Structure 1
Amino acid sequence: MTVSTAIARLNAADQDFARHLDHLLSWESVSDDAVNQRVLDIIKAVRERGDAALVEFTQRFDGVDAQSIDDLILDRERLELALTRISATQREALEKAASRVRIYHERQKQDSWQYTEADGTVLGQKVTPLDRAGLYVPGGKASYPSSVLMNAIPAKVAGVSEVVMVVPTPRGEVNELVLAAACIAGVDRVFTVGGAQAVAALAYGTESVPQVDKIVGPGNIYVATAKRHVFGQVGIDMIAGPSEILVVCDGQTDPDWIAMDLFSQAEHDEDAQAILVSPDAEFLDRVAASIDKLLPTMERAGIIEKSINGRGALIQVRDMQQAIEVANRIAPEHLELSVADPQAWLPQIRHAGAIFMGRHTSEALGDYCAGPNHVLPTSGTARFSSPLGVYDFQKRSSIIFCSEQGASELGHTASVLARGESLTAHARSAEYRILNEKGN
């Protein structure tokens, strides 16, 4: 297989740099009308026919010879069996990764709190886990046991009582690593269904699939479209775009390391984006040479080539300060600060899903076992979104307890504001509780 790259070269000093950068970053994950209508039809069928529709769609789309919903349910014993079917090395790696992810996310737990004012009024916040969460996991050869850990463990740490996993098994192909990860992460129930029909089942429930409160996990365009449509009926994590990596380098890191870091995201799919920013033009040339040298050695060379040629870039900037400005403009999913003193630049980073500090911290470590979550905002949404975490599986309720004196004092303020909004019942409800003025 012949592969070659023609990665874009941009210079921040060019007059039209901003326009070229915007064009490079543009990404619209919008479903076409045909996909949208198909998804709506599937959701409608699952809502109306429940388990029967799930069985029918699984037969049709996944080529699975399922006669009833019972053929699409994996019990806890089957997950435990998967642990015995993987190698000892794989099990050790899964368990170590799970432990690190769990320890990190334990620090994210939020607790309820209250405080008492001088007049006895008590205010606070009650933090409660969701009752049930749904986890979508891609199936078949494109399986990601790491995603099972990253999605299920924060839910369990948050206190979610039941985590339900859906994972397609196209042509009956079961991934033992995925099931083993589900066992280690504490997944409670597994259904071997996928696509829009699995999302619909989690959102609305069927005779066998329980309705959940939130759906998390990656999927194809049908899954993403279905998540859009059921949002509001249930919560969702995000609508994720293609994988991204932005490396900011001072020119002193081994160029082979940087090239492979760029490949680590480019190999996901042709639409993935890998960008290097550096003030050192000669270093950019060396990385380009490393890309050409290493690309033919990659198993997924064809995918990497299309990604690098289509959406990749080497960007020259004036200095490290401008490199940070470009990074904030891009707001990447993964940001590597491959520089001598990353801590010095960290305060200036405002927008990034995850920040990898120093020359030795590859993005791949974050994908699998560092501890922080690898479910991250893409397509510039790091400007306003955060990584998946324990807080995504907790909800907060306000607590207000007014003493007699407090209700009287607040009643005056509420009355003025309510009457200013012409909401008389609001005003009188508050006024009834004003001391010495009840009945006004």
Structure 2
Amino acid sequence: MISRIDLRGRTLSRRELLAELPRAEVDVEHAADVVAPILADVHARGAAALRDLSERFDGVRPAHVRVPAAQVQAAVDALDPQVRAALEETIRRVRQVHRAQKPADFTVQVAPGAQVRQRWIPVRRVGLYVPGGLAVYPSSVVMNVVAAQEAGVGALAVTSPPQRANGGLPDAVVLATCALLGVDEVYAAGGAQAIAMLAYGAVGSEDVDGETLCEPVDVITGPGNVYVTAAKRLVRGVVGIDSEAGPTEIAILADGTADADHVAADLVSQAEHDPLAASVLVTPSVELVGAVEAKLVDRAAATRHSARVQTSLAGRQSAIVLVDDLEAGLAVVNAYGAEHLEIQTADAAAVAERVTSAGAIFVGPYSPVSLGDYMAGSNHVLPTGGCSHFTSGLGVHSFVRAVQVVEYDADALAAVAGRIVALADAEGLPAHGEAVRARF
């Protein structure tokens, strides 16, 4: 069901190691060619294009692209009490963690009468994409909205694909989650067309011809399929984006102390997201490998999304990687840079401190990825495809900008005027120096 990659007894360079490790193949370039006309259509025709594209791709033509506020509220009124209680606790925990993330302003006195301040300023408006394909993600509403709210963003728009089963509205629990968070600007739009709507804005409604339907945003965040990713790539520069999200992935670094059933359960839990989801176990324990393989057979057969799970586990993106020891295992997971990395080893906390690349790290047998998906308080919108080598998961930092404020008085400028002139002349930009001399 799941392949083995045996790296024991081999000394590999970083390049060779990356070539050996499993990874989903996603052709974003091809998807970009597909979605470019969709972006242009929404840019040109606004709401009319959004309705046509929803009918084409989602099989339903929404009566309202912007969901009426009354229907958002009705969704929370009808929400199952247990689900509501779970969402409220998730919101509380995620808000608690993200409130602590907000960076502090600072001021540096460079010299008498010379200061540089740094201010963190939230972006004006953000668009938050919530997927709705093989699964729906009210938890992603929480992760995106809470981070933006705690950053101080003034205007938030949430968009999620219309669902035939919900009369052309987004999923009912997604709508209810928006209501719990105080968000009433919600759109029934998915895919590349939703990204275009957020980036360019859209005009036209069923009520007033030429009326603005959605104002452009400054930043778009949230995961999606390859077409959403391609659309985000194409509008980057018009707006900011969080990252180009690929298929979800889990890596587990485990030794012989790990519980094979826990490991198998966690690999299956990630595989149920998508046939392209990656489940990777890295271990020096041959005994653990055999036990996990047996448990995977049982769990994959018994789970609700069995076919999807089995496809994911059998795909080239999933594997069990055998290594000589934990030191070699750390080298593997640091090269892989998983979206989610579990450490199930002896002294797991110490091992986790040596991890240099991961979207989020889950330490010990009682910190599964599922905890982070819902209730840990951390954010589950994380870099995939090795992007954790150079970027972070979603957080307050995704919605703020650092702006430096420079303030010198006359004496402070005079003290460095000659040096500014010298550097300006050295760069062949004499007018820069003259701009300083003009003040004296």
Q: TM-score, normalised by structure 2?
A: 0.92
Q: Conserved in 2, the CA contact under 8 Å of 1:258 and 1:287?
A: yes
Matched, 1:72 2:72: no
Quick check: 1:366 aligned with 2:366?
A: no
Q: Normalization by structure 1: what TM-score?
A: 0.92
Q: 2:115, 2:92 → 1: CA distance? A: 38
SS state at 1:348 partner: coil
Once residues 62 and 177 of structure 2 are traced to their aligned partners in structure 1, the CA distance between those partners, rounded to angstroms, is 24
Contact 2:22 2:318 in 1 (8 A): no
Q: Residue 268 of structure 2 contacts residue 299 of structure 2 at CA under 8 Å; is this kept in 1? A: no
**Aligned-partner residue type, residue 205 of structure 1:** G
1:158 corresponds, among 151, 164, 172, to 151
Q: After TM superposition, give the deviation of residue 23 of structure 1 in Å.
A: 4.2
- Pick the aligned partner of 1:143 from 126, 136, 145: 136
Correspondence for 1:63 among 11, 35, 59: 59
* Cα deviations by residue, 1:210-250 (Å, 9 ceiling, x for unpaired): 11000111222222111111110101111111111111112
Please name the residue that 1:224 is paired with: 229
The one-letter code of the counterpart of 1:368 is Y
Q: Is the 2:18–2:335 Cα contact (8 Å) retained in structure 1?
A: no
* Deviations 1:59-93 (CA, angstroms, capped at 9, x unpaired): 333333446xxx22223332222112121100000
1:46 aligns with 2:42: yes
Query: For residue 241 of structure 1, what is the aligned residue in structure 2?
Result: 246
Matched position secondary structure for 1:40: helix
Once the two structures are TM-superposed, the CA of residue 20 in structure 1 deviates from its matched residue by 7.1
* % identical equivalent positions: 38
Counterpart position of 1:347: 353
Query: What CA distance in whole angstroms lies between the structure 2 residues aligned with 1:287 and 1:325?
Result: 22
Distance 1:65 1:109 in 2: 40
Residues 375, 65 of structure 1: alpha-carbon distance in 2 compared, 3 angstrom cutoff: closer
Q: How many angstroms apart in 2 are the aligned matches of 1:21 and 1:13?
A: 17
* Cα pair distance change 1:75/1:112, threshold 3 Å: farther
Question: What SS is found at the alignment partner of 1:91?
Answer: helix
| Of 379, 388, 401, the match for 2:394 | 388
Partner deviation per Cα, 1:183-204 (whole Å, 9 max, x = no partner): 2233240111122221111111
Structure 1 contact 162–187 (Cα < 8 Å) conserved: no
Distance 1:24 1:323 in 2: 12
1:133–1:154: structure 2 CA closer, same or farther, 3 Å change rule? same
* Counterpart among 197, 211, 217 of residue 212 in structure 1: 217
8 Å CA contact 1:277, 1:317 repeated in 2: yes
Moved more, 180-189 or 7-16: 7-16
1:182 and 2:178 matched: yes
- Kindly provide the amino acid, as one letter, of the partner of residue 27 in structure 2: V
Distance 1:316 1:58, change over 3 A: closer
Q: Any conservation in 2 of the 1:12–1:315 contact (CA below 8 Å)?
A: no
Using the TM superposition, give the Cα deviation of residue 19 of structure 1 relative to its aligned residue in structure 2, in angstroms: 4.4
1:167 deviates by 1.3
Q: Does 1:257 align with 2:268?
A: no
Residue 376 of structure 1 and its aligned partner are, at CA, apart by 0.7
Which residue is 2:124 aligned to? 131
Q: Describe the superposition over 1:243-289 as per-residue Cα deviations: whole angstroms up to 9, x where unpaired.
A: 11111112112211110111111111122111111222112111111
Kindly provide the CA deviation profile for residues 156-214 of structure 1, in whole angstroms up to 9, marking residues without a partner as x: 11111111011121433542111111122332401111222211111111221111000
Q: 1:140 to 1:325 in 2, by over 3 A?
A: closer
Paired residue for 2:293? 288
Instruction: Determine which of 272, 276, 287 is the counterpart of 2:277.
Output: 272
Q: Which residue of 2 is the match for residue 93 of structure 1?
A: 86
Question: 1:266, 1:303 within 8 Å by CA — same for their partners in 2?
Answer: yes
Deviation at 1:299, TM superposition (A): 1.3
Mapping of residues 8-47 of structure 1, within 5 Å = 8-14=4-10, 19=16, 22-31=19-28, 33=30, 35-47=31-43
The letter for the 1-side match of 2:80 is S
Question: Which amino acid counterpart does residue 391 of structure 2 have in structure 1?
Answer: S
- Mapping of residues 198-209 of structure 1, within 5 Å: 198-206=194-202, 207-209=212-214
Do structure 1's residue 327 and structure 2's residue 333 form an aligned pair?
Answer: yes
CA contact (8 A) 1:277 1:316 kept: yes
| Contact 1:247–1:276 (CA under 8 A) maintained in structure 2 | yes
What's 1:405 paired with?
411
8 Å CA contact retained: 2:247, 2:277: yes
CA RMSD of aligned residues (A): 2.0
Question: Runs of 4 or more off by more than 4 Å in structure 1?
Answer: 15-21
Note the alpha carbon deviations across 1:392-411, whole angstroms, 9 max, x for none: 11111111001112111232
Which secondary structure does the structure 2 equivalent of 1:370 belong to?
coil
- Any conservation in 2 of the 1:10–1:313 contact (CA below 8 Å)? no
Q: Hey, what's the Cα distance between the residues in 1 that align with 2:189 and 2:298?
A: 42
Residues in 1 aligned to 2:59 and 2:271: alpha-carbon distance in whole angstroms: 30
